[in-house]
Chains A and B, each alone.
Chain A
Amino acid sequence: MPKSSFYDEEFYPSPVRQTWNEFQRNHIALAGLWCLGFFVLLVLLGPWFLPFGPLDQNTDAILLPPAWDANGDVTHLFGTDGIGRDLLTRVVHGCQITFGVSFFLVLLAMLVGCSIGAYAGMSHGLRASIINHLLDAIMAIPTLLIAIIIVAILGTGLMNSMWAITLALIPQFIHHTRDMVRGEYRKEYVTAARLDGASDARIFFHSILPNMIEMLVVKATMALSVAILDISALGFLNLGAQSPSPELGAMLSDALETAYVAPWSISLPGAAIFLMVLSINLVGDGLRTALKNRVNQ
């Protein structure tokens, strides 16, 4: 059936669509989104297109400069490091580890934080208060310090640093969710839903959660950039991912010895971290502004 647009000249966007329209107006944030999209594709598909493994050593080409250098070779596009491992491969795998791990950390922290926050927001009195401030003590200590404490107890390793960062990210999700649920709970549409016979759980999932999704996305992007920085910082300090692993922070600390001879081996992973964090922050900031503009409209 041909869809005529005679009567649809007034187009009414849905809330999500409205936020997207607002977001598109911010060109820098849009560029950040493209950059982030590129990284996501790289993480998902990159390893399939690379001829080398992240641990393969080419002893004929040690400390080979990148391909654009006069001494470079096109087989190793980003050059090689001190023991002849292909840097492009390692950076792509490093992005996969750093970005992927951070993504799951944030997802887990969000899930746990939101459930606790929602429960705190829906319950009343002393219980709500206790739940709400259960993990507040963690907020007083910087993420890195918590991670160092946990690593000191459980030993080094990517897994332990993951636990530490998840734990550190949870309280802010609890607080934001709780505040939001509290705020929305007083609104009349919740009373209306209650008069429809909705239970507390149904009110949360069907009435409040649809209003919260955008806030959660914004908070998650902010948490994602924090998580990436922390994971690589712990890797750099040799507290997180350990040496042969191509985690970006661990790669940086590896390359520190050869930094003067082969500056590319430290600048390329560094640039990857920088671009990832920058693009995520741009997207997060753009989303926040878009959301604010939409709500204030």
Chain B
Amino acid sequence: MLKRLQIYEDRCTGCTSCQLVCSFAKEEYFSPALSRIMVDVQQEQARFRPRVCIQCAEAPCIETCPVGALSRDEATRAIRLDKGVCIGCRRCVEACPYAGVGFDEEQGLPLICDLCGGEPACVDVCRFPQAIRYAEEEGDNA
């Protein structure tokens, strides 16, 4: 069975290390604003919510894209973005029921997780909390 990125919101400690390694893996520098995984941090109540593409079986982002810039990688099931085709309309951002698609204002492009080709960088920095796992489906997925 194929692996999938799984998020356990209640285990997230808000370290945001995933945002740092993600932006570095994708852009070669550290900038949470460019991370494909986004962590909502509510400091006062210590509530943290990681948001990222979880490779839904039916991908509303692909269906809604008016120019066909999004497709699915057959090997990993990750969503692929064709930057040359994308017009930056943000419909994928709005269509994602999981709020798992971000947007890079400067380049006018969506930020969608590509699973780093099958070895997602964010998973390794979350080894203790285990809020992000890359594994086969589990029954209790939050």
The answer to whether A and B assemble together is no
A→B interface (CB under 8 Å): none
